Amino acid sequence: MGRADARECEDMTTYIARPVLPTVLKELRSADDSGREMVPVIDEEGGAPLRCCLRRSERGERIALVSYAPLRRWAAETGADPGAYDEQGPVFVHAEECAGPDGDGLPFTNAHRTVRRYSAEGHILGGRLVEDADGFDAAFREAFDDPAVTLVHVRAVEYGCFLYEVRRP
């Protein structure tokens, strides 16, 4: 992965946005988490939120919409059993390998977002609506002040789509 998107809070805690990892992307480009083959398209408009490099697509790039189960993949890594909280949904990725994130600050903060909290078991512990870029520091601090919170997902409010993960600093 290129550099990690990070934001330092007033208390000097650094929160890092984790994109879909290159090893997972390789799998998703073969068969996604629904078992479907990837179907690349040329992005005629641009602006799709790419989860591989945490930026918006540019007009003319080859991208794909794939099904991704972030909590399931995290659970497989940690041994957790999210049960009914396991879900999958659509995410945009580059159709070919890319360099990963490149830039500073947290991505996709220009709209309402939900910061959803998860326990070590993979169960939802609540969430918080973030209305602008300035609200992320407080939302992450509030989440990780709870010792039961292991990770958070940042999601789009309008569709509920997974944007990226932030783990305990």
Q: What is the largest CA-CA distance in the chain?
A: 45
Indicate the number of domains in the chain. 1
- Report, in angstroms and rounded to the nearest whole number, the Rg of the chain calculated over CA atoms: 15
- 160 contact partners, CB below 8 Å, separation of at least 6: 89, 114
Mean pLDDT confidence for 90-108: 91
Q: Which amino acid is at 168?
A: R
Q: How many CA atoms lie within 13 A of 89 on its CB side?
A: 14
pLDDT of residue 10: 52
The answer, yes or no, to whether residue 31 has pLDDT greater than 90, is: yes
Both ends of the chain: CA-CA distance in Å? 18
Q: Which amino acid is at 146?
A: D
pLDDT class of 14 with cuts at 50, 70, 90: confident
pLDDT of residue 169: 80
pLDDT of residue 168: 84
Q: Three-state DSSP class for 104?
A: coil
DSSP character at residue 133: G
pLDDT of residue 13: 67
Point out which residues pair with 17 in neighbouring strands.
5
- Count CB-CB contacts under 10 A for residue 84: 7
The answer, yes or no, to whether residue 2 has pLDDT greater than 60, is: no
0.75 exceeded by pTM: yes
The answer, yes or no, to whether residue 4 has pLDDT greater than 50, is: no
State how far the Cα of 131 lies from the Cα of 164, in Å rounded to an integer: 17
For the record, the structure tokens of 53 come out as 């490099």
Q: Which domain holds residue 74?
A: 5-167
Mean pLDDT confidence for 85-95: 96
For the record, the structure tokens of 30 come out as 């073969």
State how far the Cα of 81 lies from the Cα of 155, in Å rounded to an integer: 21
The H-assigned helical ranges of 59-167 are: 70-78, 136-145
